[in-house]
Amino acid sequence: MKIKSLELFGFKSFVDRTLFEFPTGITAIVGPNGCGKSNLVDAIRWAMGEMSAKHLRGRSMEDVIFAGSETRPPVNMAEVTLNFSTEDGIAPPAYASMSEISVTRRVFREMESEYLINQVPCRLRDVHELFMDTGVGTRAYAIVEQGQIADLVNARPVDRRVLIEEAAGITKYKSKKEAALRKMDAAQQNLLRVGDIVQEVRRQMGSLDRQARRAERYKTLREELRTIELDLAARRARGLSREVQEQSAALETLRREHVSLSSAMASEEASTEALRLELAERERALNARQEQLFELKNLVAQQESQVDLLKKDRENAESRRRDGLAEQGRLGEERERIRAERDRAGREREAALEQRRALDALRAEAEGRLGDLIDREVALSEEIGRDNEALVGAIAELARVEKSVEDLARRRDEAKARAQAAAQALTEARTRQDALAEKQVAAAERAQEARHTLTCLETKRGEALRRVEILSREESEAELAWQAARDRMRETATRLDSLRELESRYEGYQEGVRAILLVRESQPSRSHSVMGLLAEVIEAPAEYERAVEAALGERLQYVVVEDVEAGIEAVEYLKRSSSGRSSFVPLSIRETRHSAGPKPDPLLAPPLLDAIKVEDRFKPIVMSLLRDVHVVDTLQRAAAIWRANGFRGTLVTKEGDLIDRLGVMTGGSARSASGGVFARKREIRELAERAEALRAECSHAEAAFGERTAARDAARSAAESIGQRLHAQDLDRLVFDEALDRIVAEKEAAERSLAALETETRGAEAMTVGASSVLDEAALRRAALATARRAGEEAMAEIQRRRAALLGDLEAARLSTTEMKITAAGLAERVQALEQETARLDQELCERDERLIRIQVEVDGAATRIKEIEEALGESEQNLALLMSQHADGRDLLAKQRDAYQLDAERLAEMDRAIRELRHRQQAKGEEINKLQVGETELRLRLQNLMDNLFDRYHVRLEDVAIDESVQIDPEALDARQAELRTQIERLGEVNVGAIEEYQELSERYRFLTEQSEDLRRTIESLQNAIQKINRTSRKLFAETFELVAAKFEETFPRLFKGGKARLLLTEGEDVLEAGVEIVAQPPGKRLQNVTLLSGGEKTLTAVSLLFAIFQVKPSPFFLLDEVDAALDDANVERFNGLLHQMTAQSQFLLITHNKATIELADTLYGVTMEIPGVSKVVSVKLQ
């Protein structure tokens, strides 16, 4: 799986679609700092599934999308495509038949991501599994980022083992092990839950056995109570029927009287309506007349306004004519004044021109004299320069001689001082040699003591690390338990919140129901009248929920209100707000009784009322709705009961299938209209209890995890403390050894220094004699040069005085010439200003002439306009008088028509009063009829309620009950016996007549749960065996790979360092699966030491040695190295490149580098630049 190409679009600085093709061999990517080279590494890691924005040098995943620059806007998507070639035969089995594998990743600013393999959408997990155990991946050893090479050496031992694991190919095993551990934990949790359920089922089985024995006693009492209640209900029904007949006769009489009044009122209303139509016609005529009068009034006002406007126009025209005549006189005076100013400016201009011509002649003469003075000054300056160069040379020569004299004197003095110091140093060296011998003995003793202490600390550190390992395993187990408890708690809380939110929004209810309930919540003052839904007042066991929902259906969404008035108010609100429809049931609902025929056997079809719980105040509502509803186990049994004994109630199964009293069957798999409200409420209760229990369990698990963590941290701190002491002791030992070596070296250096000091003393004495003779010759040369310097300075002073006098004359001539130039410029400006003024005056004179012509035209126009206005004004005044006369006549006619209309309106009001009297009498009769109808309806409802109640309870129709009128009964005795029977039934409590069937179902469930428990135990055992097998395989693979990598590392290290030795070690006292990897290195010429004490270049070479060792054991299809050679000098780079070149036969290398030698090694070269700031551009060159 070698990289064939890389395509980027919108990724970081690569805003345009950019394609990199990578042939076999070495590909180098070069460019200046900040041009985007490392963005290629980020792109490859990102396409391979990197999810950490920090590892991509960003704060969030949005940072990988091009954010814009000074010239380019930002884009909304980043896309990277990696194409791999499988010609080498290295590919996952699922893709082995393909010649290429394409991996694409996209991310949008909305944080939506897409992953594709061969243009087919996939999961991030699929991308990770594609690269697993290939040595290629976001954390694999095949990709080494900038600065990461040194971190490989400084990393913890446990972090280094990741490289060995990847090379050993156990990453996939670790992933499978983690998945198996998660499955095993889930299976153990399921086993605990199944155990709890089995225990609960066992307890329920004992309870059902006791319930069955009470069922027979309940059946006997229920039958006697049925007989008494049927007889009493039949006798009450006969009395109610007689009262209904009497009320019907009285009602018919009142209805006839009400019809007579209605006829009289209809006749009177017809006469009234005719008069009202006549008045409407008159009113329209009055309105038309009034509108005509209003139009005349508006015309009068308009004509008056026009007369006023003409008068104002006449005054304005006369005013404009007077102003024009005055303006003509003023402009004539200004014209004469401007002509005089123009003549004066012309005379002044001629005078200024004469003065300028005279001044130009004087300035030419002065400039000639100034040129002569400048030539003389230049000649003197050149003479001064020549003399000054000679004087400077003499001064420099004198300074060199004086410096030579000082140096000779200093060297002579230094030679004498060195001779004296050498003698003194010789004495001190002999004394130090004796002292060093004593230090050598003491240092050897301290080094031996340090080695002993080091051995003891290593033993203690091994014990501490084993303790840390044990506590770490306990901590991991506690953390897994805590996380599992927390996940269960969060899952339960999420489900509970979702259900509560649905409940708070009344999802699944009708629009009208939802509107009423929301109003109740927003207006607490209405909560006393609206008491909730019928579904909310019924509490049904889980097994009867579907039965209740099927029996009530849409009635579950009835809204329970306090009384009838509250229901009417709610209906009116729904009409006003257009919020749909709803049904409302008052607390004072009337009971209806009818016979449903013979009751079914309570053991085979118990009443549904016995299975539910309802508050006392809501019992009348629920009893009236569910009185004749019985529960059966199957729809077939319900049909058999309905056919067998003529039962005319409702039979419903626990699954929600039913047969109503007419024989209509309803059933199937659809849910009820209430949307499973009982199941939802029950689930909310159960989830709330479970959430509370899980919260306590989570807190306990968290506390246990905290205790394990604290213990682990304490043990780790102790181990680290011992490790630090061990490291410090090791350093002390190294210091002692180095001190001993240093003492020996100092001893040898002292002997060499003694011989050198004797030679130096003899040389210093010879130098002192030679320096004295040279010093005398230099003194004579210095005196001659001082005399020459004084003569040159005197000649230079004389020339400077002559030049100063000449400069004075030159400055005076320049000043005179400058003044003349200034005066000439002033005269030129004066002439120009006078010319501009003359032109301006001519322009103003022309403007005044044009203005006089325009004013004459305006005066003539104003006179004409005055004549036109006088004519229009006379015509308008005549029209105004005519309109005012017409308006007066119309006003008188309107007053007469209005008086006639008022008389007819009073007659209509008298007729309306008579109709209201008739309507009042009709309404009184109607109220009497309504009262009688309500009374009759109440009697009929009481009779029907009595029949319905009897039918709901016993499925018997009242007309089918035989009554022996000759037998006299004692109602009080029957009522007492009825109360006694009900008391005995209530004492029995809830009786489950289907206890036997429930016991059988519970036994079957107990068997099923027991089998599930055994399956879970076998699953856990299987997972444990799989984990043990994974551990054995991982240990074997890791151990074998570690030995091979360690051997290659010992071979590669000397090749890169040209000597030395190094080895890899596993941390002692730890399992192979958890042990860290230590690096021990000894560069050539140095002692064996910890890798953290190596220099930067040595650390880089050591890390490269380890990487190349892994490459040789488990070659990756390709390697990406980002500035790995940055810390290496030229010699080390050459060795690095040699080893790199040898490995190109097996793998493909992508290098990001600045080193010229590494660039020369490349087969293909890519250059990355930023011609436009913030946008990377690529140039490629093939070097083969």
For 130-154, the pLDDT digits (tens) are 877 565 655 566 777 766 676 677 7
Does residue 647 lie within any of the structural domains?
yes
Asked, for residue 558, whether it belongs to a domain, the answer is yes
- The tally of domains found in the chain comes to 2
| Torsion from C-alpha of 1047, 1050, 1056, 1060, nearest 10 degrees | -170
Judge contact between 667 and 657, C-beta under 8 A. Answer: yes
Average pLDDT score, the chain: 76
For residue 1127, being part of any structural domain is answered with no
Q: Give yes or no for a contact between 1165 and 1183, defined as CB atoms under 8 angstroms apart.
A: yes
What pLDDT shows up at residue 425?
65
For residue 604, the enclosing domain spans 509-674
Q: Is 565 exposed, middle or buried (0-12, 13-18, 19+ CB in 10 A)?
A: exposed
- Cβ atoms 633, 654 nearer than 8 A: yes
**Ramachandran area for residue 417 (φ above 0: left; ψ -120 to 50: alpha; else beta):** alpha
Q: What is the pLDDT of residues 508-550, one digit of tens each?
A: 566 777 788 777 777 766 656 788 888 888 888 888 888 888 8
pLDDT value at position 429? 62
Q: Using CA atoms, how far apart are residues 514 and 510, in angstroms rounded to an integer?
A: 6
Look at 5-14, 88-97, 287-296 and tell me which has the smallest mean pLDDT.
Answer: 88-97
Report how far apart, in Å, the C-alpha atoms of 601 and of each of 102, 650, 1001 are.
73, 14, 21
Enumerate the H helices of 545-676 as residue ranges. Answer: 545-552, 564-577, 619-626, 635-644
Residue % of the chain over a pLDDT of 70? 78
Residues 6+ apart with CB under 8 A from 290: 894
DSSP secondary structure of 548-583: HHHHHGGGGGPEEESSHHHHHHHHHHHHHHT-----
Higher pLDDT, 822 or 121: 121
How confident is the model at residue 674, as a pLDDT?
Answer: 39
The pLDDT tens digits for 361-381 are 777 776 777 677 777 767 767
Determine the Cα–Cα distance for residues 951 and 929; give it in Å rounded to an integer: 32
Q: Which tokens go with 1164?
A: 């293909």
pLDDT at 418: 65
User: 78 pLDDT band (50/70/90 cuts)?
Assistant: very high
> What confidence tens digit (pLDDT) does each residue in 1092-1145 have?
777 777 888 888 888 888 888 877 777 788 888 777 888 888 888 888 787 777
Q: How many CB atoms lie within 10 A of CB 1011?
A: 11
560 neighbors 553 (Cβ within 8 angstroms)? no
Q: Which of 345-349, 437-441, 597-601 has the lowest average pLDDT? A: 597-601
Distances (CA, A) of 1097 to 934, 1083, 1143: 108, 11, 22
Cβ neighbours of residue 760 under 8 Å, at least 6 residues apart?
418, 419, 422
Neighbours of 363 (CB within 10 A): 16
Q: Mean pLDDT over residues 16-21, rounded? A: 90
Contact 597, 951 (CB under 8 A): yes
Tell me the range of 66-75, 213-222, 786-795, 1093-1102 where mean pLDDT is highest. Answer: 66-75
Name residues whose C-beta falls within 8 Å of residue 1017's C-beta, 6 or more positions apart in sequence: 191
Residue 496 within any structural domain of the chain: no
At 926 the pLDDT is 76
What pLDDT, on the 0 to 100 scale, is given for residue 98? Answer: 80
Q: Would you state the structure tokens that stand for residue 635, as one six-digit string?
A: 């729809």
Domain termination site, one of 633, 649, 674? 674
- Is 0.75 topped by the overall pTM? no
The residue written with tokens 């600085």 in the block is 13
Neighbours of 540 (CB within 10 A): 21
- Can you read off the two tokens belonging to residue 638? 């319900």
* CATH number assigned to the domain comprising residue 29: 3.40.50.300
Interior angle at CA 986, CA 985 and CA 990, nearest 5: 95
Backbone angles phi, psi at 779, to 5 degrees: -65, -40
Q: Which residues contact 273 (CB under 8 A, 6 or more apart)?
A: none
C-alpha span between 72 and 66 (Å, rounded): 10
Say how far residue 75 (Cα) sits from the centre of its chain.
19
Confidence at residue 771, expressed as pLDDT on a 0 to 100 scale: 56
685: which residues sit within 8 A by CB, 6+ positions away? none
pLDDT at 202: 73
Domain boundary among 674, 690, 714: 674
- pLDDT, position 645: 62
SS3 80: strand
Task: Supply the DSSP symbol for 113.
Answer: E
Starting at the edge strand found earlier in the chain, the sheet holding 113-117 runs 18-21, 2-9, 77-85, 100-108, 113-117, 120-121
Query: Could you say which of 647, 674, 701 is where a domain stops?
Result: 674
Q: Which residue has the higher pLDDT, 284 or 1102?
A: 1102
Q: How confident is the model at residue 670 (pLDDT cuts 50, 70, 90)?
A: very low
Q: In this predicted structure, what is the pLDDT of residue 11?
A: 92
Residue 27: count of CB within 10 angstroms of its CB: 25
| pLDDT exceeds 80 at position 83 | yes
Is 698 inside a domain boundary? no
* Cα separation, 324 vs 336, whole angstroms: 19
Place of tokens 């110091």: 421
Q: Kindly tell me if the per-residue pLDDT of 505 is higher than 50.
A: yes
How far is 115 from 103, CA to CA, in rounded Å?
Answer: 8
Q: What are phi and psi of 448, to 5 degrees?
A: -65, -40
Helix (H, G, I), strand (E, B), or coil: what is residue 901? helix
Residues 623-634 have a mean pLDDT of 85
Contacting residues for 951 by C-beta, under 8 A, at least 6 apart: 593, 594, 595, 596, 597, 627, 628, 648, 649, 661, 957, 958
More confident residue, 646 or 36: 36
pLDDT for res 1103 = 82
Close Cβ partners of 208 (under 8 Å, ≥ 6 residues apart): 992, 995, 998, 999, 1002
With respect to residue 460, please indicate whether it lies within any of the assigned structural domains.
Answer: no
Cα 200 to the center of its chain, rounded Å: 46
So what's the pLDDT on residue 350?
77
pLDDT of the residue at 416 = 67
Tokens 């024995």, residue? 213
Asked whether residue 673 carries a pLDDT value surpassing 50, the answer given is: no
Q: Any idea what the CATH number is for the domain that residue 528 is in?
A: 1.20.1060.20
Cβ atoms of 150 and 144 closer than 8 Å: no
**CB within 8 Å of 998: residues ≥ 6 apart:** 208, 992
**Sign of the C-alpha dihedral computed for residues 594, 600, 602 and 608 taken in this order:** negative
Asked if 404 contacts 778 with a C-beta cutoff of 8 angstroms, the reply is yes
The radius of gyration of the chain from alpha carbons, rounded to an integer in Å, stands at: 59
Q: Positive or negative, the Cα torsion across 535, 538, 544, 547?
A: negative
Output the DSSP codes for 435-486: HHHHHHHHHHHHHHHHHHHHHHHHHHHHHHHHHHHHHHHHHHHHHHHHHHHH
Predicted pLDDT at 731? 63
CB atoms within 10 A of CB 329: 8
d(CA 140, CA 127): 14
Q: Where are any strands of DSSP class E within 1015-1130?
A: 1061-1066, 1077-1082, 1089-1090, 1118-1122
Q: What percent of the chain has pLDDT over 90?
A: 3
- Please say whether the beta carbons of 986 and 223 come within 8 A: no
* C-alpha triplet 83, 86, 89: angle, nearest 5°: 160
Least confident of 33-42, 493-502, 1076-1085: 493-502
Instruction: Give me the pLDDT at residue 671, please.
Output: 44
